[in-house]
Amino acid sequence: MFGYYISLALRSIRGTPILSALMIAAIAVGVGAAMTTLTLNHMMSQNPLDRKDSVLYAVQLDGWDPNEAYDSNNQMPWQLTYKDAQALLRSDIPTHQIAMHRTGFTVEKDNSDLRPFTADTRATTRDFFTLFDVPFIYGGTWNADADKSPVQQVVLSKETNDKLFDGENSVGKSISLNGEPFTVVGVIDHWNPVPKVYDLNNGPFNDSEELYIPFGLHRRFEMYSWGNTNGWKNDDSEGYEGFLQSENIWIQYWVQLDTAEQVEQYRDFLTGYIRQQKEQGRFERPLKFGLSHPSEWLVLNEALRDDNRVLGWLSLAFLLVCVVNAVALLLAKFLRKAPEAGVRRALGASRNAVFTQHLIESACIGITGGLFGILLAILGLQSVKHLAMGYIDQLAYMDWQMVLAAIGLAILASLLAGAYPAWRISRTNPSIYLKTQ
């Protein structure tokens, strides 16, 4: 009977093209608007490190102004000072640990027509690639020595390698960064976690960096953060060394702790470190540190902001309005067909059969509306991309999960819209229509 109901539905839709088009449009607009917003919210609230969520931790230390807590959700600074990061790096408890920040270099290639360009760069310790499971196409990361001493080696992103070396294996080749020669030791595959969970407070939806260089190059290149640097204390020390030893926070710190024992040991280590610093006159606030899994880090940093959530609810409310409109239109359409339903009842159709027939017609309208809704959502996302001028390119696309969600939402919307009219027509007394038709 399912095939029969489908053929009846298509015949009915063809028989009332304008009314059907209005219903399809109502559902399409509702689904389109809802999916545009929900897609953005979905992409914003993803955890790209979900696979390692249980063992990765973002580290926070509360060495902030004793008179005023840091303005964050857990009242601790998002980033660490350089000297604290260097101190934590001396721990051998974590399986992997990284200190890092965003910076930038001017890239040149000798004997090339390529014009120099500025590249987003991440200065990081070598565990970055292992800790975040960054895949390599060629080569690998630099030696451990490079994290402490100035070794001019670089890992390229796939896109940068394509740009500089046409995608060929560039390991061992040289490029110039800020006029200094760097040897390529590795090329990573396309890797762009969204949101950029490892550095949420410097643009959570920015692309990942184009270059990765060792953390030991700070003094050699006097690197500053190309992101947020915050401070609370006026230091007397001058120059770059003064900056490195200051209370300015600009380093992101992550650790991988695979076992509960490691976590416990690391907590003890952080507690001990803070106590030691307190004895030296630092960390005047109550002893406090943070170890947050990536999923917790996303929530703390409000990667998905409250206004996006509100927008999500508003878009669902709009869909509800569209569904209510579709209910009214379906009711008008089905009640106009009540005499036919009466005839079918007389000829042996049960109430359930009449209900199912009309519900399937609603679902057909809903699926068609949903497909148009997906197109509208794609157009909507393109518009958002255009308005955001590239800022959220990584967010404004529908993955298969969201396409399936859109179809599901459309079917759900149409079933919600169709259920009442279908129920009404299945409950009407056929004899009324049989006598008067």
The amino acid present at 211, given as its one-letter code, is L
The residue to which tokens 């609230």 are assigned: 45
The residue to which tokens 């759900």 are assigned: 412
Q: Is the CB of residue 99 less than 8 Å from the CB of residue 122?
A: no
CA 157 – CA 49 distance, rounded (Å)? 19
Residues 258, 260, 261, CA angle at the centre, nearest 5°?
A: 100
Please give the backbone phi and psi of residue 249, each rounded to the nearest 5 degrees, phi first: -105, 130
Q: Which of 11, 219, 233, 305 binds another protein (CB under 8 A)?
A: 11
Q: Is 265 left (phi over 0), alpha (psi -120 to 50) or beta?
A: alpha
Q: Which of 27, 58, 349, 411 binds another protein (CB under 8 A)?
A: 349
430 binds another protein (CB under 8 A): yes
Q: Please say which residue, 320 or 353, places its beta carbon nearer to another protein.
A: 353
Least Å distance, CB 431 to another protein, is 4
260 binds another protein (CB under 8 A): no
15 binds another protein (CB under 8 A): yes
353 binds another protein (CB under 8 A): yes
149 binds another protein (CB under 8 A): no
335 binds another protein (CB under 8 A): no
Q: Please say which residue, 7 or 112, places its beta carbon nearer to another protein.
A: 7
Least Å distance, CB 358 to another protein, is 15
CA 192 – CA 200 distance, rounded (Å)? 13
Q: Which of 1, 144, 321, 379 binds another protein (CB under 8 A)?
A: 1
Query: Residue 161: how many CB atoms within 10 A of its CB?
Result: 25
Q: Please say which residue, 67 or 436, places its beta carbon nearer to another protein.
A: 436
Q: What's the token pair of residue 295? A: 């999923």
CA 46 – CA 64 distance, rounded (Å)? 30
Q: Please say which residue, 8 or 223, places its beta carbon nearer to another protein.
A: 8
Q: Please say which residue, 276 or 437, places its beta carbon nearer to another protein.
A: 437
404 binds another protein (CB under 8 A): no
The residue to which tokens 């949101």 are assigned: 195
Least Å distance, CB 348 to another protein, is 2
336 binds another protein (CB under 8 A): no
Compute how many residues bind another protein; rule: CB under 8 A: 25
Least Å distance, CB 321 to another protein, is 32
345 binds another protein (CB under 8 A): yes
Select from 24-32, 71-79, 265-273, 428-436 the region that touches another protein (CB under 8 A).
428-436
* CA Rg value for the chain: 30
Please give the backbone phi and psi of residue 174, each rounded to the nearest 5 degrees, phi first: -115, 140
Q: Nearest CA to 56 among 65, 47, 64?
A: 47
Q: Which of 166, 352, 389, 400 binds another protein (CB under 8 A)?
A: 352
* Long-range contacts from 9-13, C-beta under 8 angstroms, 24+ separation: 9/357, 9/360, 9/361, 9/363, 9/364, 10/364, 12/333, 12/337, 12/361, 13/361, 13/364, 13/365, 13/368
382 binds another protein (CB under 8 A): no
The widest CA-to-CA distance across the chain, in whole angstroms, is 99
Task: Report cis status (omega within 30 of 0) of the bond before 193.
Answer: no
Query: Residue 347: how many CB atoms within 10 A of its CB?
Result: 8
17 binds another protein (CB under 8 A): no
Select from 38-46, 99-107, 173-181, 341-349 the region that touches another protein (CB under 8 A).
341-349
Q: Please say which residue, 347 or 389, places its beta carbon nearer to another protein.
A: 347
Select from 69-77, 344-352, 401-409, 414-422 the region that touches another protein (CB under 8 A).
344-352
Select from 134-142, 175-183, 267-275, 424-432 the region that touches another protein (CB under 8 A).
424-432
339 binds another protein (CB under 8 A): yes
52 binds another protein (CB under 8 A): no
6 binds another protein (CB under 8 A): no
Q: Please say which residue, 234 or 436, places its beta carbon nearer to another protein.
A: 436
Q: Is the CB of residue 120 less than 8 Å from the CB of residue 102?
A: yes
Tell me the CB-side half-sphere exposure of residue 271, using CA atoms within 13 A: 6
The residue to which tokens 């200190």 are assigned: 99
Cα distances from 155 to residues 126, 131, 172, 200, 436, in angstroms, run 10, 16, 11, 22, 82
Least Å distance, CB 435 to another protein, is 6
333 binds another protein (CB under 8 A): no
Q: Which of 52, 282, 309, 344 binds another protein (CB under 8 A)?
A: 344
169 binds another protein (CB under 8 A): no
User: In sequence order, what DSSP letters do the residues of 67-103 get, joined into one string?
Assistant: TS--SSTTSS-SSB-HHHHHHHHT---SSEEEEEEEE
Q: Which of 18, 260, 347, 389 binds another protein (CB under 8 A)?
A: 347
The residues of the shown chain that bind another protein, judged by CB under 8 A, are 1, 4, 11, 15, 339-340, 342-353, 429-431, 434-437
